[in-house]
């Protein structure tokens, strides 16, 4: 900050455990907007604090997402083994601590899905343990994986290698679509390198699973040309469920660019109209002001008739370069 000669206070860092520091900041009248990345419980606590202020303020919270990956039939048949190996690479990235981690895989059961599962099994069993960010995050991950392991309707496919304290052991599980649809607990995010494969009877059941999902940051379609119709059937649902829809990639890659949308319906974020990555993210912290009939001397330079800043502007709705 000093090297760039930025004003003091542009960047500050406060350390502490629990929600107390965050809630104190959000409650301070000098704070006018909040960006947050963390758990659903932490984000909703800050939202309540912000709304309880004498002057409520917006909280742009990014909280919870399991980022479903749909394996469509032709793609699964053509490259199921390769998809299984690549999937585990994305799952393990950063010990699974990416908010876009692929925590759910959805496909029609059969020999093609079995091939995917076998490839994923081998990749998971070869996965080394990775240190997680904090002991608390590791503890929550252990509890989430234990909940999946102990569920009657869930079977464990594979576990990765064990490690020392606070290291994440990769976990891969599977359940039928009917059991998934009947259990809210199976939709809960497990923050870490854990994923659940949902085995569907047919394309209609794939669509029912998609329709029951909560709001997500991402939804992924692995597809070939022969899967176009199946993808078209899913797309209207996914557009309502996710902020970013991608094909034949993995959701853990997030590019900082003009087109990026890193947001989605609740509980992925608290405001589905915004993004926290990409150039549009600045709009979260801007407020429109209209200058009506002000004399030239009072207008900001960007709005003066002569355009002294030489910026690109909209004049009467038309772009002026």
8, 85, 99, 125: the catalytic one is: 99
62, 189, 199, 214: the catalytic one is: 62
Q: Let me know if 62 is a catalytic residue.
A: yes
* Cβ atoms 70, 219 nearer than 8 A: yes
Q: Let me know if 255 is a catalytic residue.
A: no
- Write out the catalytic residue numbers: 62, 99
């Amino acid at each position: 900050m000093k090297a760039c000669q930025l004003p003091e206070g542009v960047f500050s860092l406060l350390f502490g455990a629990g929600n107390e520091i965050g809630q104190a900041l959000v409650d301070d009248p000098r704070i006018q907007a909040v960006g947050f990345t963390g758990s659903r419980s932490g984000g909703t606590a800050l939202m309540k604090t912000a709304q309880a202020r004498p002057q409520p303020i917006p909280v742009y919270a990014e909280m919870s997402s399991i980022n479903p990956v749909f394996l469509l039939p032709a793609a699964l048949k053509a490259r199921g083994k390769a998809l299984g190996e690549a999937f585990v690479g994305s799952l393990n990235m950063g010990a699974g601590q990416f908010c876009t981690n692929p925590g759910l895989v959805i496909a029609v059961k059969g020999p093609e899905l079995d091939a995917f599962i076998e490839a994923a099994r081998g990749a998971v069993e070869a996965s080394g343990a990775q240190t997680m960010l904090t002991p608390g995050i590791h503890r929550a991950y252990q509890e989430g994986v234990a909940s999946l392991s102990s569920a009657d309707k869930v079977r464990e496919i594979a576990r990765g290698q064990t490690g020392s304290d606070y290291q994440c052991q990769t976990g891969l599980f599977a359940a039928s679509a009917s059991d998934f649809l009947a259990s809210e607990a199976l939709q809960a995010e497990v923050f870490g390198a854990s994923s659940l494969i949902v085995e569907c009877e047919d394309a209609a059941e794939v669509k029912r699973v998609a329709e029951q999902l909560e709001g997500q940051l991402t939804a992924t379609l692995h597809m070939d040309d022969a899967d176009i119709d199946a993808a078209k059937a899913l797309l209207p649902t996914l557009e309502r469920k996710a902020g970013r829809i991608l094909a034949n990639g993995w959701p853990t890659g997030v590019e900082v660019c003009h087109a990026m949308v890193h947001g989605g319906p609740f509980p992925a974020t608290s405001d589905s109209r915004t993004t926290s990555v990409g150039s549009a993210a600045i709009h979260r912290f801007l407020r429109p002001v209209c200058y009506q009939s002000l004399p030239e001397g009072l207008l900001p330079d960007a709005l003066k008739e002569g355009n002294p800043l030489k910026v690109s502007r909209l004049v009467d709705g038309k772009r002026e370069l």
